[in-house]
Structure 1
Amino acid sequence: MHTTTLVKLFKRDLNTLKEEINLYKNEENLWKVDGSVTNSAGTLCLHLIGNLNHFIGAALGNTGYVRQRDLEFSLKGVPKSELIKQVEDAIVVVENVLNRLTDEDLQQEYKHRKEPMTTEYFLSHLAMHLAYHLGQINYHRRLLDK
Protein backbone atom coordinates (compact mmCIF):
# COMPACT_ATOMS: atom_id res chain seq x y z
CA MET A 1 0.00 0.00 0.00
CA HIS A 2 1.30 3.45 -0.83
CA THR A 3 0.87 6.53 1.31
CA THR A 4 -1.20 8.14 -1.48
CA THR A 5 -3.88 5.50 -0.87
CA LEU A 6 -3.80 6.05 2.89
CA VAL A 7 -4.02 9.83 2.45
CA LYS A 8 -7.05 9.45 0.16
CA LEU A 9 -8.81 7.16 2.63
CA PHE A 10 -8.13 9.32 5.67
CA LYS A 11 -9.11 12.52 3.85
CA ARG A 12 -12.29 10.93 2.47
CA ASP A 13 -13.44 9.74 5.88
CA LEU A 14 -12.38 12.87 7.77
CA ASN A 15 -14.27 15.01 5.26
CA THR A 16 -17.27 12.71 5.74
CA LEU A 17 -16.87 13.21 9.49
CA LYS A 18 -17.15 16.97 8.95
CA GLU A 19 -20.29 16.42 6.85
CA GLU A 20 -21.85 14.19 9.50
CA ILE A 21 -21.20 16.76 12.24
CA ASN A 22 -22.61 19.51 10.02
CA LEU A 23 -25.75 17.48 9.29
CA TYR A 24 -26.93 17.63 12.91
CA LYS A 25 -30.03 19.81 12.88
CA ASN A 26 -29.81 20.54 16.59
CA GLU A 27 -26.27 21.15 17.85
CA GLU A 28 -27.19 19.94 21.34
CA ASN A 29 -27.92 16.50 19.86
CA LEU A 30 -24.22 16.06 19.12
CA TRP A 31 -23.83 15.38 22.84
CA LYS A 32 -26.95 13.28 23.38
CA VAL A 33 -26.78 9.70 24.66
CA ASP A 34 -29.71 7.38 25.08
CA GLY A 35 -30.03 3.87 26.49
CA SER A 36 -27.29 1.65 25.12
CA VAL A 37 -25.90 4.51 22.98
CA THR A 38 -23.30 5.61 25.54
CA ASN A 39 -20.95 7.68 23.38
CA SER A 40 -22.27 10.82 21.75
CA ALA A 41 -21.23 11.92 18.28
CA GLY A 42 -19.30 14.80 19.83
CA THR A 43 -17.41 12.40 22.07
CA LEU A 44 -16.60 10.09 19.16
CA CYS A 45 -15.44 13.05 17.08
CA LEU A 46 -13.10 14.24 19.86
CA HIS A 47 -11.83 10.67 20.27
CA LEU A 48 -11.02 10.35 16.56
CA ILE A 49 -9.25 13.71 16.50
CA GLY A 50 -7.17 12.81 19.56
CA ASN A 51 -6.40 9.35 18.21
CA LEU A 52 -5.10 10.59 14.85
CA ASN A 53 -3.20 13.53 16.32
CA HIS A 54 -1.52 11.14 18.74
CA PHE A 55 -0.75 8.07 16.64
CA ILE A 56 -0.01 9.86 13.36
CA GLY A 57 0.81 13.45 14.32
CA ALA A 58 2.90 12.95 17.44
CA ALA A 59 4.19 9.40 16.94
CA LEU A 60 5.11 9.60 13.26
CA GLY A 61 5.30 13.34 12.62
CA ASN A 62 6.82 14.58 15.87
CA THR A 63 4.21 17.35 16.07
CA GLY A 64 4.48 17.64 19.84
CA TYR A 65 0.79 16.88 20.29
CA VAL A 66 0.06 15.66 23.82
CA ARG A 67 -3.01 13.48 24.01
CA GLN A 68 -5.48 13.97 26.83
CA ARG A 69 -7.57 10.86 26.22
CA ASP A 70 -9.72 11.32 29.32
CA LEU A 71 -10.93 14.67 27.97
CA GLU A 72 -11.96 13.03 24.70
CA PHE A 73 -14.63 11.21 26.72
CA SER A 74 -15.43 13.80 29.40
CA LEU A 75 -15.68 17.09 27.47
CA LYS A 76 -19.22 18.01 26.52
CA GLY A 77 -20.79 20.86 24.65
CA VAL A 78 -17.86 21.69 22.38
CA PRO A 79 -19.42 23.88 19.65
CA LYS A 80 -19.98 22.31 16.25
CA SER A 81 -17.74 24.94 14.65
CA GLU A 82 -14.86 23.97 16.97
CA LEU A 83 -15.29 20.26 16.21
CA ILE A 84 -15.19 21.03 12.47
CA LYS A 85 -12.05 23.15 12.94
CA GLN A 86 -10.33 20.35 14.86
CA VAL A 87 -11.23 17.85 12.13
CA GLU A 88 -9.85 20.22 9.47
CA ASP A 89 -6.64 20.60 11.49
CA ALA A 90 -6.38 16.81 11.81
CA ILE A 91 -6.70 16.46 8.02
CA VAL A 92 -3.71 18.76 7.58
CA VAL A 93 -1.65 16.83 10.13
CA VAL A 94 -2.52 13.42 8.66
CA GLU A 95 -1.85 14.55 5.09
CA ASN A 96 1.45 16.25 5.93
CA VAL A 97 2.80 13.35 7.98
CA LEU A 98 1.71 10.59 5.62
CA ASN A 99 3.02 12.41 2.55
CA ARG A 100 6.48 12.40 4.14
CA LEU A 101 6.52 8.64 4.73
CA THR A 102 8.30 6.40 2.26
CA ASP A 103 7.43 2.84 1.30
CA GLU A 104 10.37 1.81 3.48
CA ASP A 105 8.91 3.74 6.42
CA LEU A 106 5.66 1.81 6.02
CA GLN A 107 7.50 -1.48 6.40
CA GLN A 108 9.28 -0.41 9.59
CA GLU A 109 8.00 -1.55 12.96
CA TYR A 110 5.49 0.86 14.48
CA LYS A 111 7.13 1.41 17.85
CA HIS A 112 4.23 3.01 19.70
CA ARG A 113 2.28 -0.20 20.34
CA LYS A 114 3.03 -3.16 22.58
CA GLU A 115 2.54 -5.86 19.97
CA PRO A 116 4.85 -5.88 16.95
CA MET A 117 3.41 -4.60 13.67
CA THR A 118 4.48 -2.56 10.69
CA THR A 119 3.62 1.10 10.35
CA GLU A 120 1.55 0.21 7.28
CA TYR A 121 -0.49 -2.29 9.30
CA PHE A 122 -1.11 0.18 12.10
CA LEU A 123 -2.09 2.96 9.70
CA SER A 124 -4.57 0.55 8.10
CA HIS A 125 -5.90 -0.19 11.57
CA LEU A 126 -6.31 3.56 12.24
CA ALA A 127 -8.22 4.01 8.96
CA MET A 128 -10.56 1.18 9.94
CA HIS A 129 -10.97 2.65 13.44
CA LEU A 130 -11.97 5.96 11.85
CA ALA A 131 -14.47 4.24 9.54
CA TYR A 132 -15.96 2.25 12.44
CA HIS A 133 -16.63 5.32 14.55
CA LEU A 134 -17.79 7.28 11.51
CA GLY A 135 -20.51 4.67 11.03
CA GLN A 136 -21.48 5.02 14.68
CA ILE A 137 -21.76 8.79 14.27
CA ASN A 138 -23.95 8.40 11.20
CA TYR A 139 -26.22 6.00 13.09
CA HIS A 140 -26.26 8.29 16.15
CA ARG A 141 -27.32 11.25 14.02
CA ARG A 142 -30.12 9.37 12.28
CA LEU A 143 -31.32 7.87 15.56
CA LEU A 144 -31.07 10.79 17.97
CA ASP A 145 -31.18 13.98 15.88
CA LYS A 146 -34.87 13.91 15.06
Structure 2
Amino acid sequence: MLTATLIKIFHRDLDSLKREIESYQSEDQLWVASRDICNSAGNLSLHIIGNLNHFIGAILGHSGYVRQRNLEFTRTHVSKLEIITSIEATKGIIADVLGKLSTSDLEKEYEVRVFGEPMSTGYFLVHLFTHLAYHLGQVNYHRRLLDR
Protein backbone atom coordinates (compact mmCIF):
# COMPACT_ATOMS: atom_id res chain seq x y z
CA MET A 1 0.00 0.00 0.00
CA LEU A 2 1.21 3.52 -0.80
CA THR A 3 0.81 4.70 2.80
CA ALA A 4 3.35 2.16 4.11
CA THR A 5 5.81 3.24 1.43
CA LEU A 6 5.26 6.92 2.21
CA ILE A 7 5.76 6.38 5.94
CA LYS A 8 9.00 4.54 5.22
CA ILE A 9 10.44 7.20 2.90
CA PHE A 10 9.27 10.15 5.03
CA HIS A 11 10.98 8.51 8.02
CA ARG A 12 14.10 7.74 5.99
CA ASP A 13 14.50 11.34 4.88
CA LEU A 14 13.55 12.83 8.24
CA ASP A 15 16.26 10.60 9.76
CA SER A 16 18.64 12.00 7.13
CA LEU A 17 17.62 15.52 8.10
CA LYS A 18 18.30 14.66 11.73
CA ARG A 19 21.79 13.37 10.81
CA GLU A 20 22.47 16.54 8.84
CA ILE A 21 21.51 18.73 11.81
CA GLU A 22 23.65 16.62 14.15
CA SER A 23 26.61 16.93 11.74
CA TYR A 24 26.87 20.71 11.88
CA GLN A 25 30.11 21.62 13.61
CA SER A 26 28.35 24.28 15.67
CA GLU A 27 24.79 25.38 16.32
CA ASP A 28 25.67 28.83 14.98
CA GLN A 29 26.40 27.32 11.57
CA LEU A 30 22.80 26.09 11.38
CA TRP A 31 21.70 29.72 11.13
CA VAL A 32 24.25 31.03 8.62
CA ALA A 33 22.64 32.75 5.65
CA SER A 34 24.02 35.17 3.10
CA ARG A 35 23.05 37.07 0.00
CA ASP A 36 23.73 33.93 -2.05
CA ILE A 37 22.18 31.45 0.40
CA CYS A 38 19.15 33.16 1.86
CA ASN A 39 17.71 30.22 3.85
CA SER A 40 19.73 28.71 6.67
CA ALA A 41 19.60 25.00 7.43
CA GLY A 42 17.86 25.82 10.68
CA ASN A 43 15.09 27.69 8.89
CA LEU A 44 14.76 25.01 6.22
CA SER A 45 14.40 22.42 8.99
CA LEU A 46 11.72 24.48 10.74
CA HIS A 47 9.97 24.85 7.37
CA ILE A 48 10.01 21.11 6.71
CA ILE A 49 8.68 20.39 10.20
CA GLY A 50 5.97 23.06 9.94
CA ASN A 51 4.93 21.97 6.45
CA LEU A 52 4.48 18.31 7.40
CA ASN A 53 2.77 19.07 10.71
CA HIS A 54 0.36 21.38 8.91
CA PHE A 55 -0.52 19.39 5.80
CA ILE A 56 -0.38 15.91 7.34
CA GLY A 57 -0.91 16.51 11.06
CA ALA A 58 -3.46 19.33 11.07
CA ILE A 59 -5.28 18.86 7.76
CA LEU A 60 -5.38 15.05 7.51
CA GLY A 61 -4.99 14.14 11.16
CA HIS A 62 -6.90 17.02 12.75
CA SER A 63 -4.09 17.39 15.30
CA GLY A 64 -4.86 21.01 16.14
CA TYR A 65 -1.39 22.12 14.99
CA VAL A 66 -1.42 25.81 14.08
CA ARG A 67 1.19 26.72 11.50
CA GLN A 68 3.10 29.98 11.73
CA ARG A 69 4.84 29.81 8.35
CA ASN A 70 6.52 33.22 8.68
CA LEU A 71 8.35 32.00 11.81
CA GLU A 72 9.72 29.03 9.88
CA PHE A 73 11.87 31.54 7.98
CA THR A 74 12.44 34.24 10.61
CA ARG A 75 12.98 32.37 13.86
CA THR A 76 16.65 31.76 14.65
CA HIS A 77 18.93 30.05 17.15
CA VAL A 78 16.65 27.16 17.95
CA SER A 79 18.86 24.50 19.52
CA LYS A 80 19.90 21.35 17.69
CA LEU A 81 18.12 19.37 20.41
CA GLU A 82 14.82 21.21 19.86
CA ILE A 83 15.01 20.70 16.09
CA ILE A 84 15.85 17.00 16.47
CA THR A 85 13.04 16.55 19.01
CA SER A 86 10.62 18.22 16.57
CA ILE A 87 11.79 15.95 13.74
CA GLU A 88 11.12 12.88 15.89
CA ALA A 89 7.68 14.18 16.86
CA THR A 90 6.92 14.81 13.18
CA LYS A 91 7.85 11.22 12.36
CA GLY A 92 5.30 10.11 14.95
CA ILE A 93 2.58 12.29 13.45
CA ILE A 94 3.30 10.94 9.97
CA ALA A 95 3.18 7.30 11.11
CA ASP A 96 -0.01 7.88 13.08
CA VAL A 97 -1.92 9.82 10.41
CA LEU A 98 -0.78 7.95 7.30
CA GLY A 99 -1.14 4.61 9.07
CA LYS A 100 -4.87 5.25 9.36
CA LEU A 101 -5.45 6.14 5.69
CA SER A 102 -7.04 3.61 3.38
CA THR A 103 -6.59 3.29 -0.36
CA SER A 104 -9.98 4.96 -0.68
CA ASP A 105 -8.76 7.90 1.45
CA LEU A 106 -5.77 8.36 -0.87
CA GLU A 107 -8.07 8.58 -3.88
CA LYS A 108 -10.27 11.26 -2.31
CA GLU A 109 -9.71 14.91 -3.08
CA TYR A 110 -7.31 16.54 -0.62
CA GLU A 111 -9.24 18.85 1.71
CA VAL A 112 -7.33 22.02 0.73
CA ARG A 113 -6.72 23.34 -2.77
CA VAL A 114 -3.06 24.09 -2.24
CA PHE A 115 -2.27 24.74 -5.91
CA GLY A 116 -5.65 26.19 -6.83
CA GLU A 117 -6.88 22.96 -8.40
CA PRO A 118 -8.24 19.73 -6.95
CA MET A 119 -5.84 16.84 -6.42
CA SER A 120 -6.03 13.49 -4.70
CA THR A 121 -4.67 13.03 -1.21
CA GLY A 122 -2.22 10.44 -2.56
CA TYR A 123 -0.92 12.89 -5.16
CA PHE A 124 -0.42 15.59 -2.54
CA LEU A 125 1.37 13.22 -0.16
CA VAL A 126 3.84 12.35 -2.93
CA HIS A 127 4.29 16.09 -3.52
CA LEU A 128 4.99 16.60 0.21
CA PHE A 129 7.67 13.95 0.07
CA THR A 130 9.38 15.57 -2.92
CA HIS A 131 9.21 18.91 -1.10
CA LEU A 132 10.98 17.32 1.87
CA ALA A 133 13.62 15.74 -0.38
CA TYR A 134 14.27 19.06 -2.16
CA HIS A 135 14.89 20.93 1.09
CA LEU A 136 16.92 18.04 2.54
CA GLY A 137 19.27 18.43 -0.43
CA GLN A 138 19.57 22.14 0.30
CA VAL A 139 20.44 21.44 3.95
CA ASN A 140 23.08 18.91 2.90
CA TYR A 141 24.63 21.35 0.45
CA HIS A 142 24.54 24.17 3.04
CA ARG A 143 26.33 22.01 5.62
CA ARG A 144 29.00 20.85 3.18
CA LEU A 145 29.70 24.43 2.07
CA LEU A 146 30.25 25.48 5.66
CA ASP A 147 32.35 22.42 6.52
CA ARG A 148 35.03 23.16 3.92
TM-score past 0.5 threshold: yes
Match of 2:136 in 1: 134
1:100 paired with 2:124, answer no
Contact 1:29–1:145 (CA under 8 A) maintained in structure 2: no
> What's the Cα RMSD here?
0.9
Structure 2 length-normalised TM: 0.96
1:32 paired with 2:71, answer no
Match of 1:73 in 2: 73
| 4+ aligned runs moved over 6 Å, structure 1 | none
Match of 2:117 in 1: 115
Query: Which sections of structure 2, spanning at least 5 residues, go unmatched?
Result: none
Whole-Å Cα distance in 2 between the matches of residues 16 and 24 of structure 1? 13
Contact 1:17–1:134 (CA under 8 A) maintained in structure 2: yes
Between 1:16-25 and 1:110-119, the stretch displaced more is 110-119
Contact 1:31–1:76 (CA under 8 A) maintained in structure 2: yes
Partner AA of 2:104 in structure 1: E
Total equivalences in the alignment: 146
Match of 1:63 in 2: 63
Whole-Å Cα distance in 1 between the matches of residues 61 and 111 of structure 2? 13
Structure 1 length-normalised TM: 0.97
Cα distance per residue 1:7-42 (max 9 Å; x no partner): 011000001100000000111000001231100000
Task: Please give the secondary structure, in 1, of the residue aligned with 2:117.
Answer: coil
Query: Which sections of structure 1, spanning at least 5 residues, go unmatched?
Result: none
